[in-house]
Structure 1
Amino acid sequence: MEDRHSATRTISAVMAITLLGKVMGLYRDHLLAVHYGMGMEANAFYTASRIPRVFFDAVFASAIAACFIPVFSEYLEQKGKKEAYRFAGCFITIIALLTGVLTLAGMAFPQPLVALFADYEDPQTTALAISLTRTMFPTVLFSGVAFSLVGVLQAQDHFTAPALMSALSNLVIIAYFLFLDQSMGIYGLALAYLLGWFLQGVIQVPPLRRLGYQYRPGLDFRSPGMKKVFALMGPVMVSTWVQPINLVINSRFGSRLYGGAGVSAMEYSTNLYLVIAGTFILSITNVIFPKLSRLTAGGQQGDFRDTLRQTVHSSLFFVLPMAAGLMAVARPLVSFLYGGGEFGQRAVEVTASALSWISLGMAGYALQNILSRAYFARQQGRGPLVAGALSIGVNLLLCMALVGPLEVRGLAIASAVSSTVYALLLIVPMEREGQGFLDRALCLDFFKMLAAAAVTGLTAWLLLGWLGSVLPAGKMGELLSLALCAGGGVAVYFGVTLSMGMEEAAMTAALIKRLLKRG
């Protein structure tokens, strides 16, 4: 019980810090929206900023997140800190070299990369995207070093500095918008993004020193640790291509919508969606993954399944009402956060439509992140590999079928269904091999949560309709409407789930009572 409370406190702290970064990210996107809207520069910038991120995620993120942490945890458990740190130095050196080579290649040949990601009718947009891609490709190198350092910290249960990365990066970009954008323009913004990513690595150094870690270069490709990383990296890397490849697919189809503005619409809506879902889910996975890796290294399979089951249960409890509420209030939320300046009513409508439909996949997004980490913690990549390949096929087929008649809604639906299919396909091998977490109680609770979430969404939708007739127009009216809808939806959800006897609702009620007594 104490371990569970400790994990809850850690997750809560990480979530609070992550939320700070995400809120700052929303303000960053707000500034980008009012300065550039969904015009040529915004579309080109989003394409250019996405390309290096996708290549890093596809090639190296898997090695760091899914392969390094389990092997590093194994070193800590079996060989001690000194050998683990020696392995970490070798890994960081190799990652820096490989990401450096990829950076140089991307800067030398940005044209075919832009052609792969976008099919703009306007040659000026394409030319600007090519130039910005060349400018922003060092992001790959900075990301490789930063996330390697994050792996060393997270494997030792240090999460504060990694959680602060986003806040620091966003602070740099916000400062740029406030003080330099008018004089430096879109190229200055690209440099501000680069500076933010560079500082994400710098911020990891002080806590690493406090842990006694000092980077010592190493270049031993044949060390036992690196051999294990490379053996794991193949199937794991391919399995983590799902999101990057789906981003490429969605970006290319989006570049054909609304004169290329479909790229910006999906980017704005996805960023907002990830603030709502990602703050919660990524906080959980960043804390739980090292724990699952240690349980695997220690052969504690029973504890592994119990931890996984509880994580899935609690995640669904919170994610399902988030999805329902977000679908209900998508339009006023987009209008409040992004509306104004260059971001007009048409942009609000298109982005809100994308946000509403992509929210259907929030539960799938949560499960695929949690379950893929469970596979990686066991150093198994085949399950995510097969599930990922099939979900990419689903996304491509649905984009081809739905984008024509439904435009941006088709893109959002394809993305949501793909996430859900991926999650379901990850569950099947676990259950078939007797390593799963599903039981009658969990399935029954899921349907209870789903029913309560439906009531929550309906409540928010009805409140929104009524408040629209009594509240003033403008930002203040939108803010009040969103606050009241959120408050009403939360109250209804916890009331319904409490009456159903849900454990998380009872724990929340007990926590509120304790806080009221202290007050």
Structure 2
Amino acid sequence: ITRKAVAMSDTSPLPLSLPQDTQPSQPLPVPVPPVREDTRRIVRAASIISLGNVASRVLGLVRETVKADLFGATGMVSAFQVAAAVPTILYDLLIGGIISSALVPVFSEYTPQGRRDDLWFLVSSLMSLVTVVLAFFVLLVELFAPQVAWLLSGGLDPEPLAVTAYLLRITVPAVLFMTLSGIFTGLLYALRRFTLPAFTAAIFNASIVVVALVMGYRWGVASLAVGLLVGAVLQTLLQLPALRDARLRFTLNLRHPGLRRIARLYIPIGLSLVVSQLAVALSYNLASRTGERSIAWMNYAATLIQFPLGLVATAVSVAILPTLSRYALGDSPAEQAAFKTTLAQGLKLVLLLTIPATVGLFVLARPVIALLFEHGDFTPYDTEHTMQALWVALLGLVPYAVDQPLIFAFYARKDTWTPALVGIFGVGIYLLAALGPTLVIPLTLNGLILANSLQLTSHALITAYLLRRRLGGWGEHGLGSLAVRALGASLVMGGLTWLAMRFLEDQVVRLGLGSGQVVGELLIVGGAAGVGLITYALLMALLRADGGVLLLLLRRRGQLGAPASERSTPSS
């Protein structure tokens, strides 16, 4: 949970002047088409990305279900989680943290047909540079795997600690392919080719599932590490067909102006990421000291949190970034108004869907965890502790989801210092909240997760305040009233969902489908969730929330972002 929370770290209360060479080398015309046209494009892009995210999240749940069935929530699973975190940390440090903040905005400057040769040369130079740098880090980790394992999980028993070092040597080469895949993704997003990169995570998760199912009983937890490496390779290869026209080659020319702009944008993010990734390493170490199974419980809870985040917040944020980046280049009132409207539409989508998702997950936590994970080596004891971790983590879900479009709005304006400084401040809040209470009470897993939720909430509040100040207000978009209506409808939905869950639990027992039977668990979760979904949809329709629920949103998608005078319902 902590890794995901700090991966998009970010701040500065005053506008910062961009260096001259961070602007396009030749001024680009900035057409301002009707916002309705942009909204249609954003909805289409978000739909593609959401479809990929649905596939990814479903396969991610399958991955965690398979892992729970084969290996439970043991110290060996915790060892794999630590080994899997190392290539992710390296990836986030070099590429993952700048896809949205630097790669897409800078690549977008070179996407017009007349500048494609410059684009290919820029991407080739970046690929070559990061490959050389990462090869050095991979070699270091391979040589010092036991020491790296101890730094990240010194609280584990000797056997899981030794397994962590062994798995590290399998997983760390994956960062080379993850990095190439990340660069390809940034390039394709800049070119507005969303389809193949939207499914890279699905391929990644599917690879882990297949390798674990085929080789799990022979290789044990090492099958997960091999699956991770295979998945990293396949997600890179998947994107190559969409880059048929790209003339990429190995070159170490560091003088390209676009590369310098990426470096300038990366510096603040890089500083923030160094701090945040050190905090990630510390959080793993602290979690390992709260119990052998703690990292595994935290990971299973994080999987459920990531489902609505990826399905909604990430999809919307990525979809609006190219449009925000284009409007951010202009200074006219029309362009600034279009920037605010585009951002507001993204935030509305996020609020409409993540608030009920939070309430629903809280109410259905136990049956959902039992359905997905409580099989094989995953015990009711593991379900109880994973549920507690999930409850605490849900406190940060809505703030984190709202935070993503806000951060992307700063990135679109080529302001990476503000998000970076907010991110560093957020890490300080996490460390204070995580370690401060240990002066009087013992360290606990739920205490660490609560500290993470506090970090996410403070981060979102500060980012929203600074962006509102930078933009001179949000405009008349009714975000606050929409959030209140969504929260009220979600609370009513939560109450009816709980009643439906209790009723279905009694009926399942009467039918003899209790005691961990999948059919009974599926009836409880599916039936109660269905009641909740219908309740929320009806309430939001009655409240006439702009955009309504997803079905209403899709029906009216041509009106999203249109001027208020053209809407068939009042602005929220």
Query: Does TM, scored on the shorter chain, surpass 0.5?
Result: yes
Tell me how far 1:185 sits from its aligned partner.
2.3
Candidates 379, 382, 395, aligned match of 2:414: 379
Greater displacement, 124-133 / 234-243: 234-243
> Do the aligned residues in 2 keep the contact of 1:292 with 1:304 (CA within 8 Å)?
yes
The residue correspondences of 1:13-412 to structure 2 (distance < 5 A) are 13-77=48-112, 80-209=115-244, 212-240=245-273, 244-258=277-291, 260-298=292-330, 300-401=335-436, 404=441, 407-412=444-449
Q: Distance in 2 between matches of 1:97 and 1:341?
A: 43
Aligned to 1:465: 502
Tell me how far 1:425 sits from its aligned partner.
1.0
Kindly indicate whether residue 548 of structure 2 is the aligned counterpart of residue 505 of structure 1: yes
Aligned to 1:489: 532
Deviations 1:446-487 (A, max 9, x none): 222222222222222222222222223122121111111211
Q: Whose helix proportion is higher, 1 or 2? A: 1
Amino acid paired to 2:74: G
Over 3 Å counting, the alpha-carbon distance change for 1:443 and 1:245 in structure 2 is: farther
The Cα RMSD (Å) is 2.3
Over 3 Å counting, the alpha-carbon distance change for 1:40 and 1:510 in structure 2 is: closer
Greater displacement, 470-479 / 394-403: 394-403
Q: Secondary structure at the match of 1:76?
A: coil
Greater displacement, 405-414 / 28-37: 405-414
Amino acid paired to 1:464: M
Amino acid paired to 2:486: M
Gaps of 5+ in 1: 515-519
Kindly indicate whether residue 456 of structure 2 is the aligned counterpart of residue 419 of structure 1: yes
Q: Distance in 2 between matches of 1:108 and 1:252?
A: 21
Gaps of 5+ in 2: 1-35, 558-572
Tell me how far 1:235 sits from its aligned partner.
0.6
> Do the aligned residues in 2 keep the contact of 1:102 with 1:140 (CA within 8 Å)?
no
Q: Secondary structure at the match of 1:470?
A: helix
Deviations 1:127-185 (A, max 9, x none): 11112112211122111111111111110111111111122122222221222221222
Amino acid paired to 2:520: G
Q: Distance in 2 between matches of 1:509 and 1:438?
A: 24
Tell me how far 1:2 sits from its aligned partner.
3.3
Amino acid paired to 2:205: N
Tell me how far 1:87 sits from its aligned partner.
1.3
Over 3 Å counting, the alpha-carbon distance change for 1:170 and 1:503 in structure 2 is: same
Q: Distance in 2 between matches of 1:233 and 1:509?
A: 40
Deviations 1:358-399 (A, max 9, x none): 112111111221111111121112221221122112222222
Q: Secondary structure at the match of 2:220?
A: helix
Tell me how far 1:316 sits from its aligned partner.
0.7
Q: Secondary structure at the match of 2:193?
A: coil
Amino acid paired to 1:416: S
Aligned to 1:454: 491
Q: Distance in 1 between matches of 2:119 and 2:544?
A: 45
Relative to the length of structure 1, the TM-score reads: 0.93
Q: Distance in 2 between matches of 1:156 and 1:513?
A: 27
Aligned to 1:517: none
> Do the aligned residues in 1 keep the contact of 2:350 with 2:401 (CA within 8 Å)?
yes
Q: Distance in 2 between matches of 1:338 and 1:245?
A: 30
Q: Secondary structure at the match of 1:505?
A: coil
Amino acid paired to 1:317: L
Relative to the length of structure 2, the TM-score reads: 0.84
Q: Distance in 1 between matches of 2:553 and 2:178?
A: 42
> Do the aligned residues in 2 keep the contact of 1:328 with 1:356 (CA within 8 Å)?
no
Amino acid paired to 2:308: I
Over 3 Å counting, the alpha-carbon distance change for 1:459 and 1:245 in structure 2 is: farther
Q: Distance in 1 between matches of 2:452 and 2:56?
A: 25
Greater displacement, 356-365 / 449-458: 449-458
Q: Secondary structure at the match of 2:199?
A: helix
Amino acid paired to 1:475: V
Percent identical: 27
Q: Distance in 1 between matches of 2:190 and 2:322?
A: 5
Q: Distance in 2 between matches of 1:506 and 1:40?
A: 42
Tell me how far 1:333 sits from its aligned partner.
0.6
